[in-house]
């Protein structure tokens, strides 16, 4: 959960009001997924690692 909170804070720090709401949804089984507008853009289950904040911020910027 600390990594999810860190990522959500990074999104708000960089994009602020431009982005809108961020939802953190608890899950089990080692899942850590990031979706933007319902589209999965990162899955820890698929990659075997947590995302870097920059790669998620880049995905968000590409969709704005």
pLDDT of residue 49: 93
Q: What is the mean pLDDT of residues 12-18?
A: 75
Q: pLDDT by residue (tens digit) across 39-59? A: 888 899 899 999 999 998 898
Token pair recorded at residue 58: 């880049």
Is the model's pTM score more than 0.75? Answer: no
Confidence bin at 18 (pLDDT 50/70/90): low
Domains along the chain with CATH numbers: 2-62 (3.40.30.10)
Phi, psi of 51, deg, nearest 5: -75, 155
CA distance 41 to 35: 5
Provide the 3-class DSSP secondary structure of residue 33: strand
Confidence bin at 17 (pLDDT 50/70/90): low
């Amino acid at each position: 959960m600390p990594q999810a909170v860190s990522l959500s804070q990074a999104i708000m720090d960089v994009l602020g009001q431009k982005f809108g709401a961020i939802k953190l949804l608890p899950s089990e089984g080692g899942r850590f997924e990031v979706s933007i507008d319902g589209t999965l853009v990162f899955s820890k289950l698929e990659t075997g690692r947590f995302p870097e904040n920059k790669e998620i911020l880049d995905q968000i910027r590409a969709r704005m």
